[in-house]
Structure formats: structure tokens, C-alpha cells
Structure 1
Amino acid sequence: DSFGGTLSATAAADAIATGWRRAAPDDELRLLPLADGGTGFVEVLHAALGGEWHELTVTGPLGDRVQARWLRIGDTAYLESAAACGLHFVPREQRDPATACGVTSRGVGELIADACDAGVREVVIGLGGSATTDGGAGMLAALGAVAVDEDGAPLSGGGGALARCARIDGTPQLDGVQLVAAADVDNPLLGEHGAAAVFGPQKGADAVAVAELDDALARFADVLAAALGTDVRDEQGAGAAGGLGAALLALGARRVSGAGLVRQLVGLDAELDDAQLAVTGEGSFDWQSLRGKLITAVARASADRGVPCVVLAGQVSVGRREAASVGVDSAYSVAESAGGVEASMADPAGTLAALAEQVAARWSR
């Protein structure tokens, strides 16, 4: 998978291969960049399957205009929420409680609308890496279903405004297109495992903002249920991408594992059938990695075949026992190997390659 904002999945695979070859030049390496529903989802599919890019300007998470694109393969459109409302659009110095409550997912709806206008039959939305916690209200507004207050005035963008949501005016315009939510996590919308509590802090929300957002999302869940006829707050994946999952599920989207979908489309299983060792990784191998994200998919597929699986990650906070429970034999940290996070971030590709060289010396046959 990609390593946060430092290395794409392709760049990470190249770095690992570079280091591995230094220690084990006779090994046959097969590089297969992967993604779950988050950042890099569409790029990985394009690299494996080709397709036609559609580029447009959409509303970014802070309300400005950003360039985004979606991928057409046959009658299916693939897009990712991070392309329109990704956390990378919000500078670290701007990630504070006010920003966390105020960013919008409207651009995701604009991407979906563009795909529908192009005549596709299915739109697959990769969920993950978002800066938003607005429950998908911005996305719905772009599709013609606008959240309004008691006076009928449209709400300002962001999750905080949902505390004043009275109803949804209008009907989503999808022209019969089937939606698929490719979620990288299975979190519900609300509570201690919900969108605000789990993902809000990384977007700048403090404890007060988290509580405010959770209450606002609860109100919005009531409104969604009344407007669209289904209560999705407790469904798996409803909390993905700041609650975008909830809005998509309320629209009738079919939920799939983002990692599982990529696994199928790029042929991971066929590659593992011929492998003696699987090497995988991401920016942070932590407890969230165990909740349906990419490393879990790779490790379990490897374990099914009796293939050992090792993880190379920027940071590792998962214990040996927890890692083993999903099929990971060993996990190695770039930060630990490089002498700290700052050192590893100064040269992401070089330090990852150096770690791969060390790991290859232990694992190569």
C-alpha cells in the first residue's frame, strides 16, 4: 500500500525491491502495487487494468477548486474519495478543531455526478484518506439532496453544521446507476469506534470537537433515515471516510472490501499461488490495519496458501500476537531501523530500501 503522504504504492514496491536485490540478487521478485479504498486506489487499478481517465475540477475539502479524476473501465467508473476531499489537501498547520468540523465532501458527489453523466452503469467509490467528517452531506448536496436547517436554508459545509440539520430537500440524481462503496475499514458511524472518535483526531479534532461531531452525525443519521428510508448508522463501513460510507449505504450502495476488490481485480491470489514469501506494508502498521485494511487481506491470502508473510511499515505498533492472528509472521519498522521517525521521513525511499535489505538477509532462501 502507499506509505501515507511519502510514497505511493508503486514507489514503495520499487524501494523494497531495490533493497532486497542488494542482499538477495538471485531472488525472483514480483512487484504488485496494491491499495484498499484509500489514497492510490484508482491509480493501482489503472496500472493493472488500464482504462480511460476522466479529469475535472471539483470542490476541495476547504471549498476551493481542485483537480480530480475518475477511471472508466467498460461500463464501470472507479473513483476515490481522497481525490476530492483527501487529507493531503489540508496542510498540517490548518488541521485544527474548526477545520475538522468544517471541511466538505461535495467534490466526491461532483465526481459521481460526472460519471453518471458519462453513461456508466456502476460507480465504485474507494473510501479512505479523507479530510472530512460530514457524513457525506456535501456529497449528497452535489447529487441534488441538500441538507437544510429549520428555516430551509442550506447548511454550510462540514460536519459541525449537521447539528442544525432539520431535513433533506431534493432527491439524489443517479439515473439508475448502481453505487458500490469500497471501504477500507468496517467502523460504524457513531460511538467510540465511529467516524469522529477514531478518525477525527488525525484531521485536527480535539476531544470537544470529536464529541460535537459525533452528536452532529447522530442527528444527521436520523435525518438520513427519515429522508431515504433506511437507518445505516450501525452498519459496517458507515464510518468510512468521515461518514461518507453512511450516505452511500443510505443511497443503496453495495458495500465491498476495498482491499478485497483490488485483490480480485489485480490478480493477487494467482501471484501468491507461485510465491514462497509475501512482503507487504504501509505507512503505519497499527490496530486499524487489523480492521479490514490491505495488510490483513494480503496476510490472510498468504496464510491460506501456507506462504509466510512479512510486513515492512513506516511504524509498527501491533504486537507479535495480534500480527500473527491475521497471518503476519514478522513486522519491521522503518523508523526503528533508521533511528527515528524524523530520519526515516527525511529519505523515505532510501530508508525503506535499507530495511528491505536487512529483511532480505533474514528471509531470502
Structure 2
Amino acid sequence: MRILLVAGSGWRAAAPEVARAAARAWSSAAPRDAVVAQALADGGPGFVEVARPLMAADPGLLVLETALAPEGPAGAGTTDLVAGTSLELGRMLGAALATDARTIALGLGPAPVHGWADGGAGLLVGLAEVLGVPVPGRDRLVAGGAGLGGVRATDLPDVARLRRALGARDVVGAYRSSDPVLGLAGLAAGLAEARRLDPVVAQALEHNLGDLAHALAALAGLAGRDLLAGSGPAASVRALGALPGAGGGAALVLHALGVRLAPGLRVVADRAGLDAAINGSDVVVVVVPAVDGGEMHDGTVALVGELALEVAVPVVVVAGHCVAGRREWAAAGISAVYEEPRRSAAASDVLGVVPRVARTWSR
């Protein structure tokens, strides 16, 4: 049999290591099967590690991630998140433009990982400085989300010039969560709900990010159009606010710079030829820490299930624990879900289930 083993993200170990270990575990129980291992990443921590084979296969591809340009430690507190800046991320992106890369994929991880929630204001400054573009309101833009109150279009660098610099490359911002920058389900609200920000601080951050969106929208033609929202500055702000809040809201500025935004899993899957690999398999096995609401909505299980359903290839999921009901995962194209008996999400424990699954499904 032809088995495709796909490891999702969220492990303490690197996803490629989990994928290879899962393949060995399957082969130990079903040695005659031809097993191929594939790791996926969603744009968060580990995005670059998963993409290394893709960069090796295509020298014109350069993959970066926000976790490589931290301004605050993982687990940063309230003050760090609102004062942290994405300045180094902008410098990293500027440095990437000096390479021969034709495609630059930038993984946008969650705010608590890299320690900022500034809507990409610091990124704008870092990129402008590398390219030699003046920034009138530099001090305000690098003061983190807490310093963005009252920011105006006149504080920003020449965004059109930065767009032209990026326009010569295919730059993509790879995100996991589609939760928006602004609103009741936005970046600030999510940080408050996760108890990473005091509600009062989160409300101020929401207001400040809104000011940044207004400043960007004031630059005619840079915010893009939303046919449902209408036209004019207010509509542009609504369109910008609905962008993914990944990367500490950096998608806000990246969109204004003309960067293409796409789900990180899709970016890796398309580059790795996942659809063709699934089509050429008899069974696809997905190994993830948990099958929860996020995994079923926009995670590895949801993506693999969708692709496999199109070509009628069965998908089996091995997870530490599963909170999704049978009706939900079956509708997503999943044939079976196997949980670790103790509901442990540790990779070593979950991989211990793989040989039993191999004996069940191999023929």
C-alpha cells in the first residue's frame, strides 16, 4: 500500500521529526507498505523548519517567520505585548530583498510568540530604513501598539515607494488564524480573552490599531477595495480591519504594501505538492496533537480532509485527544480518528498509537 503520513504543527518537537518518526512507526508494523512522510506548518513557530526541503528544492524561495525576529520573549506580559515592536521583522524583510529570492514567504505567528501587537507599524519603519525611505513619525511607529494613538498618514513613510520595492518579488504573508485585526473577534479582543492583556489595555490597543488603519486608508488606492463594504475611507478601514490579525496585526501593513496574504498551510501544501501526493496514496494518515475546533476549522485535518475528499482517498487521524464529534469529522472527509488512550498530546505517546493503526489499515 501507498501511505502518506502528514504531521501537523503544534508539537513540542519539530513537525518534520514527528513526520519521520510516524513513518518509522508505521513501517515497523507494516514493512511492505511504501510510506512517504510530509510535515505541514501554518505560519507559526516551525514554519521555516518545515520549509527547509522546499527551499533546498527551489533556490528562488526564501522562507521567514516572525518567531525569528522577536522583540519580546515568548510568554511576554501585558506591558511587553503593547510596547513590543515589529521593527526587526521589517529589517529582516528588507534584508530578504537584497537576496536573489523570487518568492519570499513570511510566516505570521501569534502575538504572544514574538511579543508585539503593533499592527506592523514597526515593520513599516524597519523596511523603510533598509530601503532608505524617510519615516516622519518614526518614534511613534516604533513605540508598539501603545504608541499608535493619533497616528496619521503624514507619520508614515512613502508607502507607494515601499510597494514598488516589494512589487518585483512574489511576497506572501502566511497566516494560521483568519481572526481579524479589529472588532469583537479581533487581535486585541483575543488577547484579552486569553488573559494576555488587561481588558482596559486591550480596548486602548483596539483604538490605536484603528488609528493605524485610518492612516493607511487615507493613502488613496493603497487599502484595496471591498465590493460589499462600498467605497470611501470608512469602507477602506472596514476592509483593512477584516484582514487576519496574525503576526501581531502585521497583515494590516503587509496588505497596504501589496503583499499577498494566504493561509500558511496552503502555502506549504501547494509548494510541497500535497494534492498530488494525496491523489497517489491509498491511505492518508494525519498526526496532530489534538482534534479541536481550530483543527477542524482551518487546521491540518481540515485541509487534508478537503483535498482527500476530492479524490476519494480515505483519511485516518491519530491524535492525542479529540473533542470533535463523529458527525463533524466525517463531514470533513475523515474516515476514522484514533486517540491516545490517556489523551496525552506528547508526540512520543501519540506516535505509540501509529503501529496499531497500521495493523488495522494496511493490507
**TM-score normalised to the size of structure 1?**
0.78
Correspondence list, 1:148-297, <5 A: 148=137, 153-167=139-153, 168-172=155-159, 173=162, 175=165, 176-178=167-169, 179-198=171-190, 204-227=196-219, 229-230=222-223, 231=236, 233-234=238-239, 237-297=243-303
Corresponding residue of 1:73 = 59
For the Cα contact (< 8 Å) 1:183–1:237, is it kept in 2?
no
Single out whichever of 29-38 and 115-124 deviates more from structure 2.
115-124
Deviation digits for residues 218-237 of structure 1 (CA, Å, limit 9, x no counterpart): 22211221246413654664
Whole-angstrom CA distance in 1 between matches of 2:350 and 2:213: 43
For the Cα contact (< 8 Å) 1:101–1:133, is it kept in 2?
yes
Q: Does 1:84 align with 2:65?
A: no
Whole-angstrom CA distance in 1 between matches of 2:213 and 2:291: 31
Count of residue correspondences: 329
Deviation digits for residues 70-126 of structure 1 (CA, Å, limit 9, x no counterpart): xx832x43322222239xx6244xx33222323222222111100112354543222
Corresponding residue of 1:138 = 122
Whole-angstrom CA distance in 1 between matches of 2:198 and 2:291: 23
Could you tell me the percent identity over the aligned residues?
31
| Unaligned ranges ≥5, structure 1 | 52-71
> Given residue 182 of structure 2, which amino acid in structure 1 is its aligned partner?
L
> Given residue 321 of structure 1, which amino acid in structure 2 is its aligned partner?
R
> Given residue 149 of structure 2, which amino acid in structure 1 is its aligned partner?
A
Whole-angstrom CA distance in 2 between matches of 1:323 and 1:139: 39
Compute the displacement of 1:30 (Å): 1.0
For the Cα contact (< 8 Å) 1:147–1:165, is it kept in 2?
no
Compute the displacement of 1:13 (Å): 0.8
> Given residue 170 of structure 1, which amino acid in structure 2 is its aligned partner?
P
Distance verdict in 2 for CA 1:116–1:187, change over 3 Å: same
| Unaligned ranges ≥5, structure 2 | 1-6, 129-133, 224-235
Whole-angstrom CA distance in 1 between matches of 2:157 and 2:183: 29
Corresponding residue of 2:17 = 11
> Given residue 66 of structure 2, which amino acid in structure 1 is its aligned partner?
S
Corresponding residue of 1:62 = none
Distance verdict in 2 for CA 1:353–1:187, change over 3 Å: same
Provide the secondary structure at the position in 1 that maps to 2:117.
Answer: coil
Whole-angstrom CA distance in 2 between matches of 1:213 and 1:46: 36
Q: Does 1:307 align with 2:313?
A: yes
Q: Does 1:35 align with 2:41?
A: yes
Distance verdict in 2 for CA 1:320–1:211, change over 3 Å: farther
Match of 1:330 among 329, 336, 343: 336
> Given residue 96 of structure 2, which amino acid in structure 1 is its aligned partner?
A
Distance verdict in 2 for CA 1:357–1:237, change over 3 Å: farther
For the Cα contact (< 8 Å) 1:312–1:356, is it kept in 2?
yes
Compute the displacement of 1:135 (Å): 0.8
Name which one, 1 or 2, has greater alpha-carbon Rg: 2
Distance verdict in 2 for CA 1:358–1:164, change over 3 Å: farther
Provide the secondary structure at the position in 2 that maps to 1:288.
Answer: helix
For the Cα contact (< 8 Å) 1:309–1:328, is it kept in 2?
yes
Q: CA RMSD in A?
A: 3.0
Distance verdict in 2 for CA 1:3–1:125, change over 3 Å: closer
Distance verdict in 2 for CA 1:141–1:325, change over 3 Å: farther
Distance verdict in 2 for CA 1:278–1:121, change over 3 Å: closer
Whole-angstrom CA distance in 2 between matches of 1:294 and 1:111: 28
Distance verdict in 2 for CA 1:162–1:5, change over 3 Å: farther
Whole-angstrom CA distance in 2 between matches of 1:105 and 1:165: 16
Compute the displacement of 1:24 (Å): 3.1
Whole-angstrom CA distance in 2 between matches of 1:207 and 1:350: 38
Whole-angstrom CA distance in 2 between matches of 1:24 and 1:146: 61
Compute the displacement of 1:47 (Å): 1.4
Single out whichever of 189-198 and 153-162 deviates more from structure 2.
153-162
Corresponding residue of 2:323 = 317
**TM-score normalised to the size of structure 2?**
0.78
Corresponding residue of 2:90 = 109
> Given residue 151 of structure 2, which amino acid in structure 1 is its aligned partner?
C
Distance verdict in 2 for CA 1:249–1:263, change over 3 Å: same
Compute the displacement of 1:263 (Å): 1.5
Match of 1:45 among 38, 44, 51: 51
Compute the displacement of 1:31 (Å): 0.6
Provide the secondary structure at the position in 1 that maps to 2:317.
Answer: strand
